[in-house]
């Protein structure tokens, strides 16, 4: 996975984890300077999400995630939960 930061540096490595704020951990990382003339090899690194300009993710991974989302359904607030709900604001649950 390739990560470009707002300062122009790029990091290329294997994605280990990512959180809701897009903070990521990479392993077997090669860092390239803004000018592209310096390279560093690191066993692992942490990148704060707010510094990321963009990510390049392989198409295979995007396809896997799409398939997983379809198989699991809509997630939070999906139609299944709304159909089972019988509280205020839901039609056909009137008085009497």
* Three-state SS at 52: strand
Interior angle at CA 50, CA 48 and CA 56, nearest 5:
80
Helix (H) or strand (E) holding 90, with range, is none
pLDDT of 53: 98
C-alpha 60/C-alpha 7 separation (Å) is 28
Cβ neighbours for 39, distance < 8 A, ≥ 6 positions apart: 30, 31, 32, 33
Give me the average pLDDT of each 10-residue run along the chain (96 residues).
97 95 97 96 98 94 89 65 59 60
Helix (H) or strand (E) holding 65, with range, is helix 59-72
pLDDT of 71: 86
pLDDT of 50: 98
DSSP summary character for residue 44: E
Alpha helices in 8-58 (DSSP H): none
Structural domains in the chain plus CATH codes: 1-58 (2.30.30.100)
């Amino acid at each position: 996975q390739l990560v470009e930061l707002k300062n122009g540096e790029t990091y290329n490595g294997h994605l280990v984890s990512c959180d809701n704020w897009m903070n990521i951990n990479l392993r077997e990382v090669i860092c390239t300077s803004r000018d592209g003339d310096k390279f560093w090899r690191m066993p692992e690194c942490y990148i704060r999400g707010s510094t990321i300009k963009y990510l390049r993710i392989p198409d295979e991974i995007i396809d896997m995630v799409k398939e997983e989302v379809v198989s699991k359904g809509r997630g939070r607030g999906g139609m299944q939960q709304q159909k089972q709900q019988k509280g205020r604001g839901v039609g056909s649950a009137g008085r009497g």
